């Protein structure tokens, strides 16, 4: 098979890149190692549409998050992808946290996010079960069905002539004149794809794929577990102030059916498929959430799922273009939100 562009990885970021390239008139193939699209990081996260509160101004995370959120809301509305602009509170539970809350508000505004600082009365209106003295309210934060989003992107790729090649594992890459020859293991045996441009959107395996092209990417892996909450203790999203471990803290999220989860936490992953949830961590989750939630009981919590986050050494996304190949590394949160903006950038780089 010969194409203009081969995208390695069929999560939302890879599919967004494929969509952008196919729309630009490039013959496109998505090479996904698993039999289902979006079955790894895409399907194991909080499904939040982030507004851009946390990220260093001017960073790739900040710029692609803000741009990506605008693109994502428009995409979902146009294609009837289930989503909701439910809003979010980031809470301060003591006076010592007020300075950090003010600093977060300033950073969010610098990034272009619409936020407001609110007090106890407004918090009680928005979230009666939340215990806090002040909060940062982000009305444009939302939630989306990541599964439906992936399907809509895949449909868009195919509608523009792209090919979705599932169960294709890329095992080698070699230059062939001005193209790349990719060796794949597929259901029918060995296959070869020749492409003028390649996008490495392999997520947790982006570093391994990069090594096939002689490129070193610095990724490490953090595990985040979730616990389901049996009762609807919040109406929307409630976050603590971010802790020092680089995560967003054990927060409360809702899905489109109204189900509530706590998480994720952050601990080093033992492997890229370390998806077991340790039930003994129930007390850790309960204590963390009880700092800002009233009426939560420890027996409300049951183990849910876990995800693995690829983290780059810089703390930012990496988007590196070399010899007709774009490598994406460290695509953790807000990668789901940023997907369409990342696809837009990749298509520009490979135009």
* Confidence class for position 323, pLDDT limits 50, 70, 90: very high
| Alpha carbon 209 to chain centroid, angstroms | 20
DSSP symbol at 293: B
Residue 175: pLDDT over 80: yes
What pLDDT is recorded for position 351? 87
The reported pLDDT for the residue numbered 342 is 98
Distance CA 72, CA 16 (A): 11
Average pLDDT over residues 322-341: 97
Q: How distant, in Å, are the alpha carbons of 119, 230, 254, 306 from that of 303?
A: 33, 11, 16, 9
What's the mean pLDDT in 292-312? 96
Give the phi and the psi of residue 43 in degrees, each rounded to 5. Answer: -95, 0
Q: Helices 12-23 and 146-159: crossing angle, nearest 10°?
A: 30
pTM for this prediction: 0.97
Query: Per-residue b/e over 200-218, b at no fewer than 16 CB within 10 Å?
Result: bbbbbbbbebbebbebebe
For residue 343, the model assigns a pLDDT of 98
Alpha helices in 44-117 (DSSP H): 60-79, 98-110
For the stretch 196-245, pLDDT in tens is 999 999 999 999 999 999 999 989 999 999 999 999 999 999 999 998 77
DSSP SS3 for 130? strand
Instruction: Render pLDDT for 233-244 as a digit per residue (tens, 0 to 9).
Output: 999 999 999 987
Mind listing the pLDDT tens digit for each residue in 120-166?
999 999 999 999 999 999 999 999 999 999 999 999 999 999 999 99
- pLDDT-based confidence at 277, cuts 50/70/90? very high
The mean pLDDT of the chain is: 97
Quick one: pLDDT at residue 218? 87
Tell me how far apart the alpha carbons of residues 224 and 306 are, in angstroms, rounded to a whole number: 5
Q: Which of 3, 7, 13 is nearest to 336 (CA)?
A: 13
**pLDDT attached to residue 245:** 76
CB crowding 296-309: b at 16 or more within 10 Å, else e = beeebbebbbbbbb
What mean pLDDT do residues 276-301 have? 97
In the structure, what pLDDT confidence band is assigned to residue 85 with cuts at 50, 70 and 90? very high
Q: Which two tokens stand for residue 309?
A: 């986050």
For residue range 86-125, what is the model confidence (pLDDT) as tens digits? 999 999 999 999 999 999 999 999 999 999 999 999 999 9
* Side-chain half-sphere exposure of 242, counting CA atoms within 13 A: 12
2: pLDDT strictly greater than 80: yes
User: pLDDT at position 311, please?
Assistant: 96
């Amino acid at each position: 098979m010969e194409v203009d562009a081969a995208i390695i990885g069929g999560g939302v970021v890879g599919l967004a890149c494929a969509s952008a390239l196919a729309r630009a008139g490039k013959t496109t193939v998505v090479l996904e190692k698993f039999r289902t699209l979006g079955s790894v990081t895409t399907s194991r996260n909080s499904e939040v549409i982030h507004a851009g509160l946390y990220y260093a101004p001017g960073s790739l995370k900040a710029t692609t998050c803000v741009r990506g959120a605008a693109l994502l809301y428009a995409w979902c509305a146009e294609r009837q992808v289930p989503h909701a602009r439910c809003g979010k509170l980031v809470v301060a539970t003591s006076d010592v946290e007020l300075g950090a809350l003010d600093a977060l508000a300033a950073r969010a505004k610098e990034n272009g996010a619409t936020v407001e600082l609110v007090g106890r009365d407004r918090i009680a209106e928005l979230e009666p079960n939340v215990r806090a003295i002040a909060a940062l309210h982000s009305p444009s934060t939302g939630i989306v069905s990541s599964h439906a989003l992936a399907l809509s992107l895949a449909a868009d790729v195919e509608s523009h002539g792209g090919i979705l090649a599932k169960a294709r594992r890329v095992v080698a890459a070699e230059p062939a004149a001005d193209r790349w020859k990719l060796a794949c293991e597929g259901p029918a045996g060995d296959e070869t794809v020749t492409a003028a441009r390649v996008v490495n959107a392999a997520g947790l395996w982006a570093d391994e794929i990069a090594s096939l092209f002689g490129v070193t990417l610095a990724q490490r892996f953090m595990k985040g577990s979730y616990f389901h909450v049996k009762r609807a203790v919040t109406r929307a999203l409630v976050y603590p102030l971010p802790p020092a471990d680089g995560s967003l803290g054990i927060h409360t999220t809702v899905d489109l059916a109204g189900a509530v989860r706590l998480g994720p936490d952050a601990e080093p992953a033992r492997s890229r498929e370390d998806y077991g949830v340790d039930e003994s961590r129930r007390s850790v989750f309960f204590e963390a959430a009880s700092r800002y939630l009233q009426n939560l009981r420890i027996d409300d919590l049951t183990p849910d799922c876990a995800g693995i986050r690829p983290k780059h050494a810089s703390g930012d996304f990496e988007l590196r273009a070399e010899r007709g190949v774009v490598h994406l590394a460290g695509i953790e949160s807000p990668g789901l939100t940023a997907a369409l903006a990342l696809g837009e950038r990749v298509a520009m780089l490979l135009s």
